[in-house]
Amino acid sequence: MDLINHLYLGFAVAFEPLNLFYCFLGVLIGTLVGVLPGLGPVAAMSLLLPATFHTTPVASIIMLAGIYYGAMYGGSTTSILVNIPGEAASVMTCLDGYQMARQGKAGRALGISAFGSFIAGSVGIIGLILIAPPLVDFALKFGPPEYFSLMVLGLTILTFLTSASMIRALMMAAFGLIVGTMGLDNISGLARFTFNIPELLDGVGLVPVVMGLFGISEVLLNIEMKVKREVFTTKVKGLLPTLQDWAQSTGAIIRGTVLGFFLGILPGGGAVIASFVSYAIEKKVSKHPEEFGKGAIQGVAAPEAANNSAAQGAFIPLLTLGIPSNVVMAMLLGALIIHGVTPGPLLLSQHPQLFWGVVVSMYVGNIMLLFLNLPLIGFWVQLLKVPYSILFPLIILFCLLGSYSINNSTTDVAIMLIFGVIGYLMKKISLEAAPMVLAFVLGPMMETALRQSLIKSKGSFSIFFTRPISATCLILAIALMVIPLLPWFRRPGIALESEDVK
């Protein structure tokens, strides 16, 4: 069978010593970059890109790809340990992962995160091999109207993210939308909310915002309560996930993988959105939604699986059509071109050993990552035993360095600190950050898609309903909003206002 031959070729290429070495180097760097808050795979890849010129194209792509999906593994570590997302796609892991760490279950959270990532990554690769071409054709059908409707659907899903009050979640979402408008608008060319600060022309960065909202605010809160609070149960109840954990997480991992893969393929989609949506869906289908936000293991398994399979899915448009679906893929595109390989529909036929070599090495890389991350769990857990008075200055130091390193800009540090204070205040009056972040990510994409669609349709809103995919998403969104209001669907535990629960 043709596929067997291809895989054989892929294994032959991937197991060449040079490629194995670069694969390991890539995933190692990726893990480190993921663990360190702020510095992301893009920065690491752009720094290392010139270094790859001296090797073969295959080796450099293998390494750069390894950095990308390796960062997805590493990003969850600080999310779980200290509530700081190492990567924007690890934000959702903070919600339950950190709570698990506080209950002494850090090892199990880290473990399920590593295993979930591995399973999702592997499935993602299989998906890439088997169903890439028809999937890409489907993804191409997503034009501005479809994106708009998908984003609307995404925003309605945020209503599932709330644990308490719907009104508050919507308030936070509105805040997120407003913050998302900051920057130079691409369609009209007008600068919005930039206060004449040039760095804000590009908008407020996602990474400083989440580092502030989740990480810094948590530190501030802990400092405030240090007299009363004992930070972490130093008694760690086991380093690996228990059988019960596995039983509970299986569904989450499967759902997260599938969702993440499809969202990763959509150009402009990606790991961040995938992690949010999978968390929300997991909460929705759970029999105990009130556990989410307090240390539900599914709340760790689902987003971690989603962000890894999204990372694999993101390769598909690049490898099949030569179209990068996000900034990381664009860097890979550049690397390919510099090496004389022109990505495009002809990549598979012209450079089969590159395509199959990279695909197989992604699987090899995932295995390496599993073996890299699991033994480290013991080490990370020990780190938690460090007294908080020593830990928190280090955390702040890493955050300051990390946020600066994104763009070599002190504006990012300032943004992180400002949102740290905002996040602290939000926590004091029980406003949740997750809906804000989701709206902040989806809002700009939604707005651009809306305006592009309306330009195309010359102002007619019917374009959203006459196109099948767009109409489906919108109807689904409306249904999701309306159904919980209907009396026979009203579930206990989901309140419109927190007073309602009584």
Where on the chain is the footprint of another protein (CB under 8 A)?
Answer: 42, 46-47, 49-50, 53, 140-144, 183-184, 186-191, 196, 198-199, 201-203, 267, 317, 321-324, 327, 329-334, 337-338, 340, 342-346, 407-408, 452, 455-456, 458
| Nearer Cβ to another protein (3/197) | 197
Dihedral sign (CA 469, 474, 475, 479)? positive
Are residues 256 and 116 in contact, defined by beta-carbon separation less than 8 angstroms? yes
CB of 181 to another protein, least distance (A): 14
Cβ-proximal residues to 495 (8 Å cutoff; 6+ apart), any chain = 164, 165, 166, 501
Could you tell me the smallest distance in angstroms from the CB atom of residue 90 to another protein? 22
CB of 165 to another protein, least distance (A): 36
**Cβ at position 185, least distance to another protein in Å:** 8
Cβ at position 354, least distance to another protein in Å: 14
Judge whether 12 and 354 are in contact, CB under 8 Å. no
What are the φ/ψ torsions at residue 219 (nearest 5 degrees)?
Answer: -60, -45
28 and 64 Cβ atoms separated by less than 8 Å: no
Q: Which is nearer to another protein, 408 or 492 (CB)?
A: 408
Two structure tokens written together for 145: 């109207």
Distance between start and end Cα atoms, the chain: 63
- Measured from the CB of residue 447, what is the shortest distance to another protein in angstroms? 13
Q: Output 288 or 456, the one with its CB closest to another protein.
A: 456
Round to whole Å and give the CA distance between 315 and 131.
13
Q: In angstroms, what is the minimal distance from the CB of 186 to another protein?
A: 5
Q: Which is nearer to another protein, 173 or 332 (CB)?
A: 332
Nearer to another protein, 74 or 322 (CB): 322
CA dihedral 21, 27, 28, 30 (to 10 degrees): 140
Angle, nearest 10°, between helix axes 298-313 and 243-265? Answer: 30
What is the 8-class DSSP label of residue 214?
I
Residues across the chain: 502
